[in-house]
Amino acid sequence: MGDGEWQGLDFLPEDSATRMVWAGLLPRRGSPPIWDAVARTTRGGVEEWLLVEAKANIEELRSSCRASPQGGRSMIERALDRVNRELGVPHDRDWLTRHYQLCNRVAVLHALKEQGVAAPLLFIHFVGDRGGPGRTCPGTAAEWAEALTAQNAHVGLPAGHPLDDRIRRLFLEVAPR
């Protein structure tokens, strides 16, 4: 792929049944999830895809679905509602606003698991980035905690949900310049 970012499930072979299933879950228009990195690894003799999402500041945690009702929003809602039910998320949680990016990444992970594709999801949170104006860049892992706790409360993923063992967080210190 070069230096570009992978979109959706483009990292899977073109004839993959999983790609076809995924294409039927979401509208064809709009932006698919864009990964900061994707790697093919082997762990315990099992080939898997490592999906990476990286954040340098708290503002990057916030996002909302921009699909219009005419542009496939209802299709996205149905797909996310199904994932919510299967993961035990309370029915009053809104996965389309405030933390939509996290929610659609979890939906991808869920679809991969349903199709038998091994894939952990790694969230990298950079610590000590200088950012820029209007950016809140945590200086320690503990400083990320408040924002991540709020994100988790909004999303409502229960402890021990079926994807819990596939989601990891890494707090990576940025080297000073």
For 40-53, write each residue's pLDDT tens digit: 999 899 899 999 99
Rounded Cα gap, residues 83 and 27, in angstroms: 16
For residue 123, what is the enclosing H or E element? strand 121-127
Residue 26: domain span: 17-54+61-119+143-171
pLDDT value, residue 176: 63
Say if 72 falls within a structural domain: yes
Say if 135 falls within a structural domain: no
Say if 176 falls within a structural domain: no
Say if 167 falls within a structural domain: yes
Rounded Cα gap, residues 112 and 115, in angstroms: 5
Say if 80 falls within a structural domain: yes
Say if 95 falls within a structural domain: yes
Say if 5 falls within a structural domain: no
- Each residue's pLDDT tens digit in the chain (177 positions)? 556 778 888 899 888 888 888 877 777 677 788 999 999 999 899 899 999 999 999 999 999 999 888 778 888 999 999 999 999 999 999 999 999 999 999 999 999 999 999 999 999 999 999 878 889 999 999 999 999 999 999 999 999 999 999 999 999 999 765
Rounded Cα gap, residues 155 and 34, in angstroms: 20
Say if 162 falls within a structural domain: yes
Give the number of domains in the chain: 1
Residue pair 101/59 in contact by the 8 Å Cβ criterion: no
Q: State how far the alpha carbon of 18 is from the alpha carbons of 1, 80, 118, in Å.
A: 20, 17, 12
pTM for the model: 0.90
Q: Could you tell me which of 140, 125, 127 has the C-alpha nearest to residue 61?
A: 125
